[in-house]
């Protein structure tokens, strides 16, 4: 990894010496401190690195670089990222690094550790990784008519999700195409000021997965089992209204199990709704998790209403978030959305979690903010007594 970073910086310095006007840098640092309290098993208070919107509890640092020639027909992009997680380990590496060319106006080709956000959905909870979770390979984006994009990606090695730093495992290692190569297909169409629709399909979503066992021959994180479709409808017709509806179909197929989706498929429905009235903003983020697996007859539900108000010409923004999850459990991360669900689903309505988070964000300038808050959880498990978790935190975000 050190060799990779040294090489990246060396290439960057060379590029800066010859193409200083075309090479652009940007980045973000998101770190803070949280003091965590829990009455589960009389646990002692703990202190931890904290990042409200870094997807994990350990904060995040990103350095982005972008280069293009004057004609905008060729260029390159890369991102170095230091990503924390719930155990406060840190993963430093390349999130993406690719070159691109535009041989004709309607075609762009990317090659390398590819990222492309064209077909990503915009909902708050799903945070689809159709672009940023791509992999090492090649990607074609075709724009046959204005506002319509089509995409095809071929990745001998896929990328792990954003919470795992978009890591690429052994990008140059030859792989069996059927078992390992990831293929992605995307469509996006926008009718300006009316709606936007996106649809993407990828044959699997992770670079490596769990080893199949007798008890679970088709584990959910095994790359060979994860045919996945994500679709989105985004309404644009109403001013100040955010309305996004997403659907996710997961575990669609397996080469050794034609009935995988019928036996163990996942159908998840997401809604992101928000409205702005002058300085007042409020919204609701919701999910309905549905599984075809035996014993998962209940539908797991998540609701996240929130409200905020802007004071002092935008310098002070108090906010209140609440999250209710039925059929899942809290996983130990302090995400603003209430980081439970997904792999923590139990489809049992006797298990539920409530989260309340009052906070105040101080906007120092357009690129710097400090948030102070208190995130409070109550978990009612299927087995055992309910317990409280609470974290008092400060969180600093600096963009550059």
Report DSSP letters for 32-79, one per residue. Answer: EEEEEEE-GGGPPPEEEEE-TTSSSTT-EEEEEEEEE-TTSSEEEEEE
Summarised one tens digit per residue, pLDDT across range 106-115 is 999 999 988 8
- Cβ–Cβ < 8 Å for 38, 52: no
**What is the predicted pLDDT for the residue at 365?**
94
Q: What's the mean pLDDT in 317-325?
A: 95
Task: Give the CA distances from residue 113 to residues 132, 155, 301, in Å, rounded to whole numbers and listed in that order.
Answer: 10, 9, 35
Q: Which of the two residues, 228 and 16, has the higher pLDDT score?
A: 228
Reading the block at residue 212, the tokens are 């199949």
pLDDT in the model for residue 284: 97
User: Could you report the per-residue pLDDT of 250-271, keeping only the tens digit for each?
Assistant: 888 776 777 888 888 889 999 9
Is pLDDT at 146 greater than 80 in this prediction? Answer: yes
Structural domains of the chain sorted by starting position, each given as residue range(s) with its CATH number in brackets: 2-399 (2.40.160.10)
Q: Compute the mean pLDDT over every residue in the chain, rounded to the nearest whole number.
A: 82
225 token code pair: 């089992």
CA distances from 30 to 5, 211, 394 (A): 21, 34, 11
Instruction: Tell me the pTM.
Output: 0.86
Greater confidence (346 vs 111) lies with 111
Lowest mean pLDDT among 98-112, 219-233, 243-257: 219-233
Between 223 and 103, name the one with better pLDDT: 103
């Amino acid at each position: 990894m050190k060799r990779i970073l040294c090489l990246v910086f060396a290439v960057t310095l060379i590029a800066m010496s010859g193409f200083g006007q075309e090479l652009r840098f940007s980045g973000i640092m998101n770190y803070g401190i949280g003091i965590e309290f829990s009455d589960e098993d009389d646990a002692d208070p703990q202190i931890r690195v904290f990042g409200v919107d870094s997807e994990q509890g350990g904060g995040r640092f990103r350095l982005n670089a972008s280069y293009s020639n004057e004609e905008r027909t060729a260029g390159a992009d890369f991102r170095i990222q230091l990503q924390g997680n719930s155990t406060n380990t840190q993963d430093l590496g390349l999130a993406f690094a690719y070159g691109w060319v535009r041989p004709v106006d309607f075609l762009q080709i990317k090659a390398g550790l590819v990222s492309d956000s064209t077909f990503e959905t915009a909902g708050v909870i799903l945070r689809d990784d159709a672009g940023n979770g791509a992999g090492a390979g090649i990607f074609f984006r075709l724009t046959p008519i204005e506002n319509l994009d089509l995409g095809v990606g071929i990745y001998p090695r896929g990328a792990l999700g954003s919470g795992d730093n978009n890591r690429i495992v052994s990008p140059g290692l030859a792989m069996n195409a059927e078992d390992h190569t990831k293929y992605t297909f995307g469509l996006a169409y926008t009718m300006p000021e009316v709606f936007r629709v996106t649809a993407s399909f990828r044959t699997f979503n992770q670079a490596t997965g769990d080893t199949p066992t007798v008890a679970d021959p088709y584990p959910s994180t095994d790359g060979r089992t994860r045919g996945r479709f994500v679709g989105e409808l985004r309404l644009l017709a109403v001013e100040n209204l955010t309305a996004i509806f997403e659907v996710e179909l997961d575990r669609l197929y397996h080469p050794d199990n034609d009935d995988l989706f019928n036996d163990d498929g996942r159908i998840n429905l997401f809604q992101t709704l928000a409205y702005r009235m002058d300085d007042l903003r409020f919204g609701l983020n919701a999910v309905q998790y549905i599984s075809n697996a035996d014993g998962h007859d209940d539908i797991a539900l998540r609701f996240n209403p929130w409200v905020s108000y802007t004071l002092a010409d935008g310098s002070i923004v108090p906010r209140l978030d609440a999250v209710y999850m039925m059929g899942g459990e809290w996983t130990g991360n302090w995400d603003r959305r209430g980081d439970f669900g997904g792999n923590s689903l139990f489809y049992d309505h006797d298990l539920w979690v409530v989260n309340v988070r009052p906070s105040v964000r101080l906007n120092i300038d357009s690129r710097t903010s400090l948030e102070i808050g208190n995130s409070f959880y109550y978990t009612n498990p299927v087995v055992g007594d309910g317990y409280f978790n609470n974290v008092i935190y400060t969180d600093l975000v600096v963009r550059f």
